[in-house]
Amino acid sequence: MKPAFSRLRYRTTCMMLTAMVLAACGGDDDATAPVAPASVDAAQACSALAGKTLAGATVTAASTVAASAAAPLYCKVTATIAPQLHLELRLPQQWNGKLYYEGGGGYDGSIPDLAGGNLSALKLGYATVNSDSGHTDNGLSAAFALNDTLAANLFGSLAVPTVMSSAKEMVFAAYGKEPEKSYFEGCSEGGREALMAAQRNPNLFDGIIARAPGYNWVGFMGHWNRNEKAVAAPGGQINTAKLGLLARAVRDACDAKDGIVDGIVSNPQACTFDPAVLRCAGGADAGDTCLSDAQLAVVNSRTSSASFANGAYTSSALALNGNEDDAAAGWGAWVTGNGDVRSALHYLFQDTTVKNYLARNPAQDSLTYAYESNLASLFSMAALNDATNPDLRPFKSSNAKLILWHGGSDPSISPKASSDYYQAVTKAVGGQAATDEFVRYYIAPGVGHCEGGPGADQSDLLTALDTWVAKGTAPGTLSATKVANGATQASRPLCRFPQYPRYTGPANDTAAAALAANYTCTAP
């Protein structure tokens, strides 16, 4: 349990009371603990919070949401922490005594819907909380950072601890007891928030799940700036047919190295494919059966690391994985914009970053901006947003646990970036044994950015984390499933890094290939 703020507050209140009523405060720790009601239903939780201001959060609405096929009965609370930080707290009728905080995505700017991680947590009985991280906009806009220093600081690192202060107080007011455990989970930007909390607020959560974390903001944005300039260069655009050519060539070379040809390169460390074999004769574009030098320059920009400010900021290489042509995990949406570079997600993210953090000029064209032209702006953005500190000893000392997860075919953030961070943590905390005491790292082969792709993208990491934190049972090999239309299509073991799931079942057996039992976590 984290510092018992409610007891401290209760004692403080008692100290302020006169001797006349002091007896009611009791004389030892147990007696000072507030007594939880036998049960609190969702309507009571709502009425306890309606109209209140708690730890700076003013409740703007509190109403029950009836149980449905999608979600159980809960009290939905919206609140504002003045002047601009908005949060939503969901208090289930059947509370498990714990709090779950889910991070945002992109540049945040809105409260995430009840879906994905927070819906799963609510179904498990967790009280859940989300925020907009302190500004209102679409997730592809960093306009808030241009002139709103508070918004920039809230987005960078302050929203999570600020929201947590209020959320814990609200949970106490609603249920009569503070959360027994508090967990954070986030992917991409939410994964950055997760690692930021582990680094800067090591006592805030009992456990953290960081998935595909965008922890390296300056490095990643600079890498994307470089990549998108290559796509925008004359002849740099890679069409769908050429992406198919590239992906097939990678699969032909590497798919089988995990024991099964299933469209997933599960053993990337055995993959030594060189895209230069696809070069058009002479280097000029000669149609869809080869890649020109301009197109290979895009491939090489992504598959090589990037470094800025004399190595102060770096970004890991993003290896080819054979899913470059996948609808969800491929390059179309993220890199090429399917023929329109200025609609590619990486173009859009780096462009709003250049405009609002670096050039500080909304009219700046990011494709003509030299990324290192203003080092002070890089330093400033890093101080706000980078969660690159590998020294998690304070987090470890608080007895908290961290689960790292990354999709093996992530087209946005390289799984190698998470591997590099994990290895830096291992070094910083004193080696593998010390790391194993509080970190688990998993790569899910064939999975795209946070989800999607041909791989098994669904795993119950929250229960694995809770079992570790609450019962002391550290997670080993976990399970992952691929779900389509509500039905499980395939299962795989989710192996601890650096292991991968190697197929050990019968050959040419589609049913066997869909079952996790026919795979063995194997060292590369």
- In the complex, the residues that contact Ca ion under the rule CB under 5 A are 255, 258, 260, 262, 264
Tokens found for residue 121: 């947590």
**Rounded to the nearest whole angstrom, what is the least distance from the CB of residue 326 to Ca ion in the complex?**
14
**Rounded to the nearest whole angstrom, what is the least distance from the CB of residue 266 to Ca ion in the complex?**
5
Cβ proximity to Ca ion: between 258 and 326 the closer is: 258
What is the C-alpha to C-alpha distance for residues 363 and 7, in angstroms, rounded to an integer? 53
**What's the DSSP call for residue 430?**
T
CA-to-CA dists, residue 100 to 54, 103, 131, 206, 395, angstroms:
18, 10, 12, 10, 18
What is the C-alpha to C-alpha distance for residues 134 and 84, in angstroms, rounded to an integer? 5
- Strand locations in 228-317, DSSP E? 306-308, 313-315
- Strand locations in 112-153, DSSP E? 127-131
**Rounded to the nearest whole angstrom, what is the least distance from the CB of residue 522 to Ca ion in the complex?**
12
**Rounded to the nearest whole angstrom, what is the least distance from the CB of residue 270 to Ca ion in the complex?**
11
Cβ proximity to Ca ion: between 176 and 268 the closer is: 268
Strand pairing category for 85-92 and 487-494: unpaired
Cβ proximity to Ca ion: between 264 and 490 the closer is: 264
Residue type, 501: P
CA-to-CA dists, residue 239 to 122, 235, 276, angstroms:
42, 11, 17
Cβ proximity to Ca ion: between 219 and 268 the closer is: 268
Cβ proximity to Ca ion: between 250 and 333 the closer is: 250
**Rounded to the nearest whole angstrom, what is the least distance from the CB of residue 421 to Ca ion in the complex?**
26
Cβ proximity to Ca ion: between 357 and 503 the closer is: 503
**Rounded to the nearest whole angstrom, what is the least distance from the CB of residue 442 to Ca ion in the complex?**
18
**Rounded to the nearest whole angstrom, what is the least distance from the CB of residue 97 to Ca ion in the complex?**
42
Tokens found for residue 329: 């995990």
Sort 510 into a burial class: Cβ within 10 Å, 0-12 / 13-18 / 19+.
Answer: exposed
Residue 358 contacts residue 184 (beta carbons within 8 Å): no
Which 3 state secondary structure label does DSSP give 443?
Answer: strand
Cβ proximity to Ca ion: between 161 and 524 the closer is: 524
What is the C-alpha to C-alpha distance for residues 80 and 134, in angstroms, rounded to an integer? 10
Cβ proximity to Ca ion: between 260 and 329 the closer is: 260
**Rounded to the nearest whole angstrom, what is the least distance from the CB of residue 333 to Ca ion in the complex?**
24
**Rounded to the nearest whole angstrom, what is the least distance from the CB of residue 271 to Ca ion in the complex?**
10
For 224, residues 6+ apart whose C-beta sits below 8 A from its C-beta are 346, 347, 349, 350
| Cα atoms in the Cβ-side hemisphere of radius 13 Å centred on 212 | 24
**Rounded to the nearest whole angstrom, what is the least distance from the CB of residue 258 to Ca ion in the complex?**
4
Question: What residues form DSSP beta bridges with 315?
Answer: 306
For 27-64, give one letter per residue: b (16+ CB within 10 A) or e: eeeeebeeeeeeebebebbbebbeebebbebebeebeb
Cβ proximity to Ca ion: between 249 and 264 the closer is: 264
Cβ proximity to Ca ion: between 11 and 248 the closer is: 248
